[in-house]
Chain A
Amino acid sequence: MEWRWDFTIEILPRMLSAMLNTLLAAGIGYTIALVVGLIFLLGQRTKFRLCNWIVRECVEFIRSTPLIVQLFFVYFVAPQFGLVLSAWVSAMLTIGLHYGTYLSEVYRGGLEAIPRGQWEACRALNLSPARTYFRVLIPQALPASLPGMGNYLVGIFKDTPMLSTIGVVELMHTANALGAETYRYLEPYTMVGFMFLIISLPTAAWLRKFERYVGRSMGITK
């Protein structure tokens, strides 16, 4: 089978608009994951041992099971309990929750990198837990967490093709549909690959730059 440029040009507009959906899915999913990660993190650091343990085990469970099985679980099981979620909503919830557990680990690593003296100083100054976290600890933990956070931003973007399996119309879904309509799979699938490459490589490079910038502005790296 030969590569046909006219066909490539013909499907390009549809592929590009599907790319926007992919970017949107990655963006929304990541935003949810950022918040969920924080909730999971704080849930493991409460005064109640039982709560910490339960959250810890939930995080372990979600982290060790495949995202795609979770997608199917949420999409098919929620209606059984009378909760009909659209493909988009269940996809965003699942991917947000899944990556939230990864991000909570990244945050935890960042927090653990902070010297003990900082905690003790907050205690000595009688700062409330909210102030301790938001004004002292998180600003310091952030630069250490950024590389991990950046990796998962690219990771979430590369996992969005999985969403096509429950019917989210993104890049992979469109490529499948185009293949089914025209019986040509060579161009759509190859284009999907290149479009991912074109976005993820510069993003990764830009993230490295951003990390250095933040590190410098916080006076941590030169």
Chain B
Amino acid sequence: MSYLDFVIEYLPKLAGGAYITALQLVCASALAIVVSLVFGLMRLSRLGVTRGIATVYIEFFRGTSLLVQLYWIYYVLPLMGIKLGAFESGFIAIGLNFGAYGAEIVRGSIEAVPKGQWEAAVALNMSPGQRMRRIIIPQTFPILLPPASNLMVELLKATALVALITVVDLMFVAKQINATTWLSAQTFGTALIVYYAMARFVLTPFLRWLEVLAARKVGKA
């Protein structure tokens, strides 16, 4: 079987897997963005308790392995009466895990906004909510996006792990094809190329575009 025949025969299946991978990426990153905003802001709170909760969350999720968290959510939570499907468990675990990393990026970028901006907002008699929404947060985007882009590519790579809890993503499909045909070089090689193409030619250009956009919005481009 030539490689071309292989591609023609199995491309539809692989494309289906890639679609699920893309869905996982979208759901997990949406959750990760929410989690990182919430915990990133909590880390900057004036209340010690709030800060403490956020620190425990972040250290806990960064200190253990994503795969362990994935297995725990999928196999152990049902024993406690919380039943989640494979797909949901997958993106929830990834979202919670990457949210912890993202929270540190959010915190760092807010702290990187010059002090004068805070003082000016106070001097203009803005409420804390207005200050954050209209002055501080918009200025964090250009600082936050480059490390967030790196994290996003990491997140795409991490979605391959959901295959281990039976989500039928690209990795899972590749494993299936490998098990029936034993054309390992073709199967896993193609999977690698598809992951590479998604990261390099879809995700990265999109994030670069966002970075340029954000820089332009605050007049830095």
Contact = CB atoms under 8 A, between A and B. Distances in A.
A193 B66 CA distance: 10
Interface stretch (A36-44, A57-65, A116-124, A130-138): A57-65
Interface residues on A, range: 20 to 34
Q: Main secondary structure on chain B at its contact with chain A?
A: helix
A72 B67 contact: no
B210 to A, nearest CB: 18
A66 B65 contact: no
A196 B184 contact: no
Nearest to B72: A189
A64 B153 CA distance: 7
B79 interface: yes
Contact of A1 (B67, B71, B79, B164): B79
B63 A189 contact: no
B64 A197 contact: yes
B179 to A, nearest CB: 10
Interface of A: 1, 60-61, 64-70, 72-73, 76-77, 80, 158-162, 165, 172, 179, 185-186, 189-190, 192-193, 196-197, 200-201, 204
Given A72-B171, A193-B64, 14 more contacts: A61-B192, A64-B153, A72-B175, A73-B192, A76-B188, A162-B67, A165-B164, A179-B75, A185-B75, A189-B68, A193-B69, A196-B63, A197-B64, A201-B63
Interface of B: 59-60, 63-69, 71-72, 75-76, 79-80, 153, 157-161, 163-164, 171, 174-175, 178, 184-185, 188-189, 191-192, 195-196, 199-200
